Structure 1
Amino acid sequence: MRIENTAAIVTGGASGLGAATAAALVKQGAKVFALDLPGSIEKAPETAGITYVPTDVTDGDEVRAAVTAAASSGVPLRTVVNCAGIGPSMRILGKKGVHDLGLYAKIVQVNLIGSFNVLALASEAIAQTGADENGQRGVIVNTASIAAYEGQVGQAAYASSKGGIVGLTLPAARDLAQYGIRVCTIAPGIVETPMLATVSEEFRAGLAAGVPFPQRLAAPEEYAKLALAIIDHDYLNGETIRMDGALRMAPR
């Protein structure tokens, strides 16, 4: 699907995977609307072609307003990439007691329900655009994690939320097929994001050593490259693609 002279929404677009994807889409000629929390947007550099929209992905009214802005930009809204997410960890039963139910609910709310909220409201707007010569109207790319398959100790909530994204992919693709909208998911392994910036080089080296090949952490730009490949490849639909260097996570 063509990206040039279209609009794109990227959630979590002020940093990490989202920022790299927003930049890659701009280079392809898209008008990008980067949705993120106000605190993250304040730290993001101003970039030509990217409009930052303060948005909580779990808030229906805020997401609808952001989608309306993208759909009213003068070019058709074609692309959505859901990168917004959080990853706190806690054991189901640990030294401090039982897993906090509020924390579990928050992680699922942001990672899974937030992604669904954006997918649903954006697909409504995309469905109202004219189709291209192949009957296509848009592509939605969600972000899971290899934790959806091999969640580690302390990742019960995170793995649940990302497993939900994997489970959402095929039925979403089937639901939206009649509107010419494809849905795919990327399940990254260990990526060099701001979340890892606080840990030591020694710790990062240990993580990289566990990756079969290439024996390093992934770069956010590699996620962006895969997202663009999915957008470009018209026959990819309803699929979750691992991007992990053949890594299979150990229990801890």
Structure 2
Amino acid sequence: MNMKRSFNPLVMLLFGLFLFLIFLIAIGVDLNKLWSLLLQSRKSYIMAAITVDVLYIVTYGFAWYFILRTVAPEVRVLNALLIVFAGWFSDMLVPAAFFTGEVVRLYLLKKLYNIEYSRSAATIVIHRLLSAIAFAIFVGFGAAALAETGGATGILPQASIALGLAFLAITGGLLFIYKAEYVIEKTTSYLCGKRKNRVMKYLLSKGIDIASSLENFARSIDIIQEKKGSI
């Protein structure tokens, strides 16, 4: 399906900077002091930090795009990257809301390409799982390097907790993905038997069919698994 409208990267950038300034003012940041510190700092370090950060987000976006194209080949790579940037910015605006960016990604895909939430959600689940694996690898290598140099004494407990949580997330994610069809089949069967339930009838009257959404989600997972060689 053709996209209804296109992003204007410059407009998005300016709008994002404007929202970021409002956010800084709202949390009580002294903009004059911030500007003064920026002027006094080494510009090369700032540019290096910005470059590395942007490249990381771009790489993160490409990883999602390669997964997304298996179920939604109509999505253009530039728009996928801009959607990731918008989601990332949303995460920054809402502290500790780790899934704000995912919600934004789902919404923008629906708005621009009319892709069902259940269909695109499967790509985000897979992407999150791969991110957790990468996170565990980075933390593990980092902790090992610090232990080798004797600098891990203070952060070893925190690194162990982070690794433990990452492995739990990875294990849970893998179990869910490989058992998704079974779990969703049972859940769908249960929901279909409850179609006469008052709540289910109300949701169906509003066009919300949970059973169909779960089936679409499972179908998307299957498509991604079948095409994993092309990702």
Q: How high is the TM-score relative to the length of structure 2?
A: 0.33
User: Which of the pair has more CA radius of gyration?
Assistant: 2
More strand as a share of residues: 1
Higher helix share: 2
TM-score between the two structures when normalised by the length of structure 1 = 0.31
